[in-house]
Chains A and B, each alone.
Chain A
C-alpha cells in the first residue's frame, strides 16, 4: 500500500509540474518569440519591397525534390545568382521525386532533416506536428514581412486558419495564390460538336445532352472515357461533378464537408448532394454515354481510346491538352480539334472551386537554435514570398533569361525554351538554368501565374476567373488524441464510401439501397466521427476564432 501511494504521489507531482509548465508556456504566449540570440547575418531593417541580403555569407541545408525532367545541376545560374543576390548558399539534399515523401518522413522522424523542407502539401505536415520536430512557424511571422503582407492584402486568413492545429498555431508555410487557380476540367472534341451542330456544354445537364447526341451519331462508341482513375477512382471527374452539387468527391474527397444551411459539418459520403452526384454519373453509365471503365482504368488506356478517336470527351489540364491529346490526335485523326471547356456548372451556380494554398515549406525545429535563424526566415520570406523573389525563381535574370516590356509582359530570351514558349530553342530554362523549378517557383500573383500561359489557356482562365470564389470551410483541428481515434475510423469509412460510390454508379448496387448504405456507414462510426469534427470546430472557434 505504501509503495502504491508513493508512486501515486510521484505521478501526481509530475502531473502537477506539467500543468505548471503548461501554464508557464501559456503565460508567456510566444507571440513574438525571442530570437535576439539568433540574428547573425540577419538584416536589421528588413521590410516589404526590400531585397534580402545577409550581412555575412551563410548557408542552409534544404531538402531538394529532384525532378527527373530537370535534374539538379550545381552550375545552374539559379544557384549562382541566388548567392550573389542574397549572400546565402543553399546546400541541397537531393531526393528523387519518385519517393520524396518517404525520405522526408524518414529524415524528419530520425531528427536528421535539413533546416528547410519545401514541397510539403497542406495537410502533409499534420503527421509531424506531435513529434515536435517541426517549427510552429506561425510564432515567427514577424520575421516575414512579405508573407504577412500577402496574407493581409489577399485576405488569406480563412485559408491559413485551415492549417492551424489544435494549439492554434500552424506548422507549414503554405504557398499562396492570389486567386483560386482552376486548371483541371474536361477536354472536348470541338470538331464533333461542330459537325453535330452542338454548343459547348455550359452545365452538366448540357453535357448530358451533348453526350446523348454524340451517342446517336456514333451508337457503337462510348462518347466519353475518362482518366485519372488510379489510385483514386474518378479522381478528377467525381471531384468536378461533386463540386457542381456542393459536395466533395474524387481527389478532393474529405469525410467532413461544411453544410452552410445547417451551420455544421456533414458526413460527405452520406450527403444528399453526394447522392445527386452519384445519380448523375449513374445516368451516364446506364445510357452507355460514358465508358464504365472510366473510373478505374489506367491513364494510358484512356489516352489511347481518346487519341484514336474512339471517344470524344475526357478529363484534362492545360499540359495534358497539348501533350497527351492534341499532339497525338493530329497525327491519328484527320481534322480532329480538341479544346479545354470551362468547368461545367451545376445547381450551386457559377463558382470556381479550389484552394488558394499550394505546397509549402516546413522548418525543422532545431533551426531556432541556429545562430542564423532570423536571416533564414528573412531569406525564405524573400525567395518564396516577395514579388521580386517569385519573379526571380520563375523567370530568372532580366536581360539574360528574359525581358519585360513596359506593360510588364514577360518574354523569354530567344535561345531559351520553356513549356513550348520558344519551340526549337537550344537551351531550356528549367534544365539548363534552374528557373521555373517546382521547388522554388509556385504561387504568387495571378499575373505571374499567367505569364507562361498560352492565349487559349488565358481565355479559359478569364472565363473561370469571372466566377465567384467558393467560401473556405471553417477549421476543425484535432488534438493528438482525437487524431488517433479518428484515424482508426477514417480508413474503413473511406473504403466503404469509395466502393459503394463505384457500385452505385456502375449499377452493381441499386440506388434504392441508399438508406441501407447510410446505415452501414453509421455502423462504421460515421456519426461519432462527424460529432468529433463538429466539436473540434466549435472548440477552435471558441479558443481562437
Chain B
C-alpha cells in the first residue's frame, strides 16, 4: 500500500478540525475542572466568584468534613451495592430477552417485541407504579431499586440487533456438535458478543449509578438511600433554603465547597470505569469491520 501525502486542503481541514474539537474539549472540561478547583478552595473565595481553574486557599478540610459523615459512606456503599446487583440482574434479563427476540423463526416474536416497545410509549404513571411496587411488598428494600428497571427497552433492541447479525451458521455448527440452546448462548454467542455486553454493562451501570428517582420514590429511610440522593439533598437543600417563608430553623445552607467535594467523590468511580471498558468498544468496531 502506498502512503499518499495529504493534500494541502486536507491538512487545512485537519487543522481547523483540531482547533474546533479542542474548543469543544475545553468547554466540556471547564465545568469539571472548576468543580475540582472549588472542592479544594476556601468557601470565601467561592462565594465571591474568585475560583476558576486553580484552587484558591488550597485545603483538604472539606474532604475531611464530608468523609467523616458516616451517612455519606452508608449511602455510598448502597450505591455500589445497588449498581452491582441491578446491573447483574439487568444483564441477565436483557440478554435472555434479546437472544429470544433475535430468532426470526420464533412464533409470536412480533408480539413479544411490541410488548417491550409498548412500554417505551406508554407507562402506567407515577402513582399506579407506586401502588404496584408497594402491593408487591418491594418498597423500602433493595428490590424496589433493582427489579423495576431490569430491562431497558432501548438496550434490549440494541442487543437484539447485535444478536441478529451473528452468523446463524455458527450456531448450527454448535448444535451439530451437540450443544443445547443454553450451551450455544453461553459458549458460542456470549463470547462473541463481548463488545455489546461491555457496552450494555456500561450503559446500565452508569444509569443505575446516577439514578436517584426510583430510590427517592420507593425508599423511606435515609440509611437505604443511594449517594445520589445524599448529593441532591445537599445541593437542592442549599437552594431551597433561600425560598420564601421557611421556618427559622430551616434557613441554613450547605457551603458550596462541600457540594463540590460531594460531586467529586460521587462521579470519580464511575468515570474510572470508562478506560477499562473502552478496549471492548475498539474490538467491537473491528469485529464489525471483519465481517463480510
User: With contacts defined as CB atoms under 8 Å apart, how many contacts are there between chain A and chain B in the complex?
Assistant: 120
Tell me the bound Cα distance from A494 to B16 in angstroms.
Answer: 48
When each residue 122-138 of chain B gets 1 if its CB lies under 8 Å from chain A and 0 otherwise, what string results?
A: 00001100110010000
Please give, as numbers and ranges, the residues of chain A lying within 8 Å of B254 by CB-CB distance: 68-69
Question: With A69-B253, A94-B221, A304-B47 given, is the CB distance from A106 to B127 under 8 Å?
Answer: yes
Please give, as numbers and ranges, the residues of chain B lying within 8 Å of A121 by CB-CB distance: 245
Question: With A67-B250, A106-B130, A438-B249 given, is the CB distance from A97 to B240 under 8 Å?
Answer: yes
B188 interface hit (Cβ, 8 Å) = no
Tell me the bound Cα distance from A102 to B130 in angstroms.
Answer: 13
Tell me the bound Cα distance from A98 to B252 in angstroms.
Answer: 13
Q: Are B222 and A441 in contact, with the CB atoms below 8 A?
A: no
Tell me the bound Cα distance from A96 to B230 in angstroms.
Answer: 8
Question: With A103-B217, A304-B47 given, is the CB distance from A438 to B246 under 8 Å?
Answer: yes
B48 interface hit (Cβ, 8 Å) = yes
Q: Are A98 and B134 in contact, with the CB atoms below 8 A?
A: no
A442 interface hit (Cβ, 8 Å) = yes
Tell me the bound Cα distance from A96 to B252 in angstroms.
Answer: 15
Q: Are A307 and B47 in contact, with the CB atoms below 8 A?
A: yes
Count, chain B residues at interface, CB 8 A: 39
A308 interface hit (Cβ, 8 Å) = yes
Q: Are A304 and B49 in contact, with the CB atoms below 8 A?
A: yes
Report which residue of B127, B240, B241, B248 has the largest number of chain A beta carbons within 10 angstroms of its beta carbon: B248
The residue of chain B having its C-beta at the shortest distance from the C-beta of A112 within the complex is: B134
The residue of chain B having its C-beta at the shortest distance from the C-beta of A418 within the complex is: B249
Output the least CB separation between B79 and chain A (Å). 15
Selected from B134, B225, B237, B244, the residue in CB contact (under 8 A) with A67 is B237
The residue of chain A having its C-beta at the shortest distance from the C-beta of B125 within the complex is: A109
Output the least CB separation between A526 and chain B (Å). 25
Tell me the bound Cα distance from A320 to B253 in angstroms.
Answer: 10
A311 interface hit (Cβ, 8 Å) = no
Q: Are A332 and B134 in contact, with the CB atoms below 8 A?
A: no
Question: With A67-B237, A328-B44 given, is the CB distance from A319 to B251 under 8 Å?
Answer: yes
Report which residue of B49, B134, B247 has the largest number of chain A beta carbons within 10 angstroms of its beta carbon: B247
A267 interface hit (Cβ, 8 Å) = no
Question: With A96-B233, A175-B247 given, is the CB distance from A66 to B222 under 8 Å?
Answer: yes
Question: With A93-B220, A299-B242, A304-B49 given, is the CB distance from A69 to B252 under 8 Å?
Answer: yes
Residue pairs across A and B with Cβ atoms less than 8 A apart, 5 shown, are A69-B252, A72-B222, A96-B216, A98-B233, A359-B245
Top 3 nearest A-B pairs (CB, nearest first) are A98-B236, A442-B247, A68-B237
Sample of 13 more A-B contacts, CB < 8 Å, known A328-B47, A441-B249: A67-B237, A68-B237, A69-B253, A97-B233, A97-B236, A98-B233, A98-B235, A99-B232, A106-B127, A300-B47, A300-B49, A317-B251, A358-B245
**Chain A contacts to B: CB under 8 angstroms:** 66-72, 93-99, 102-103, 106-107, 109-112, 121, 175, 184, 228, 235-236, 251, 299-301, 303-304, 307-308, 317, 319-320, 323-324, 327-328, 331-332, 358-359, 394, 419, 430, 436-438, 441-443, 449, 452
